[in-house]
Amino acid sequence: MPAAYDGETVTRRGLFTGGAMAAGGIATAAFALPALGFAVGPILEDAAEENFQDVGPEADFNTNTYVSKVISLPESEGTGEAGKTTIYLRRTDEKRDTDELGQLYIAISTRCTHLGCPVRYVTASERFICPCHGGVYSFDGKVSGGPPVRPLDRFETKVDRGRVLVGDRFSLNSKLERKKPRDPSNHLDGLWQYLYPSRPTT
């Protein structure tokens, strides 16, 4: 072997080159594997069983305004009052609601998508207002002002024997396309969505 002593099977240069390449491979994997896990993990998640809660008869709701209801968050089971949250519900207005979510009833989360403060629906202005940093959302929950990064989250809804049921939370991008639930401040448009994995348990 060139540049080797008698009996050597690996030169010093070869040993250092191989060692440097191995160290480079380990360093690259240390960055790449977690990123890959974040990107692919949510796709492979098992679909958790949905929990639906009765929030009242269909007669309680209309297309013109929201009605507030209190539900228990499935992820906070066993935490008593702390595990409850207020949501806003109304019936879908076919002329006004142009999204393609296909829900007969719209159940909107009160958790601001900026940093999570509770928003309030103001009937006179048909807006959801966040008191913390001035976030404003339109009648369908889209951002119309302030720092929130995406529309207000919603909950699955269905009707069973004249009663309205509310299920799991889901998030939306700016086109009101359904996405897996995300934390406040997580963007859901463009490449940003891949930086924020789904967090269904929060």
Q: Is 129 in the site for ligand FES (CB under 6 A)?
A: no
Q: Does 111 bind ligand FES (CB under 6 A)?
A: no
Q: Which of 69, 90, 91, 114 binds ligand FES (CB under 6 A)?
A: 114
Q: What is the Cα–Cα distance from 14 to 84, expressed in whole angstroms? A: 64
DSSP code at position 20: H
Between 146 and 167, name the residue whose CB sits nearer to ligand FES: 146
Q: Is 12 in the site for ligand FES (CB under 6 A)?
A: no
Between 74 and 181, CB nearer to ligand FES: 181
Q: Among 67, 101, 117, 129, indicate the residue that binds ligand FES (CB under 6 A).
A: 117
Q: Are 5 and 14 in contact (CB under 8 A)?
A: no
Q: Which stretch binds ligand FES (CB under 6 A): 40-48, 51-59, 66-74, 145-153?
A: 145-153
Residue 17 CA to residue 22 CA, distance in Å, equals 9
CB 157 within 8 A of CB 103: yes
By CB under 6 A, name the one of 89, 108, 130, 164 that touches ligand FES.
130
Task: Specify whether the backbone of 143 is left (phi greater than 0), alpha (psi in -120 to 50) or beta.
Answer: beta
Residues at the interface with ligand FES (CB under 6 A): 112, 114-115, 117, 130, 132-135, 146-148
